[in-house]
Structure 1
Amino acid sequence: MYQHPAVMEAAVVGVPHDKWGEVGKAFVVLKEGCRATEEELIEFCRQHLASYKCPQSVKFVDSLPKSAVGKVVRRVLREPYWEGKERKI
């Protein structure tokens, strides 16, 4: 996803899905002045990745949560989607 010209940062986490258990959801920060749609980014991934690695949805955010050393804290992105679920993959 980083190869897309409009993407500054991205992270993909697993979110619950009724049929498959979980699917990928991408969180994307766009470069200033750039635009992209969810469909455009998913299609870009389909052209460059195996189908099972492509995110099923995209959420555009202003920034990604990071730890003190600058790594993306995926747990923070994932938690709201797994609240109240019996199993947290």
Structure 2
Amino acid sequence: MRKSYKIVVAVLLSIITYSLITFLATLSIVLSKVESFDFQPKFFGQDIVYIHIQDSIFNANVTSTGVLIFGLLGGIIQLLINKFSKSDKQAY
């Protein structure tokens, strides 16, 4: 697989993993019957996820800032893996 495709796949997998973890965490909190819960972490002053539960009504929101941050993080990690991978250098 070419290096550019590996980076795109890493970005997409990073975004999917981020969204899935948010969904599963919210689902586990709802199933544990927590009546009131508010979770809103920030990264560089921007919301990355918002989970609010009150009276068995829940709202989970994956923000675009969070998707962008984790997508870029996945791409950077894959870029570093590609750069320092010895198997790619030996294949060419």
TM-score range, shorter chain: under 0.3
Structure having the larger proportion of residues in helix: 2
Structure having the larger proportion of residues in strand: 1
Structure with bigger gyration radius: 2
TM-score by length of 1: 0.23
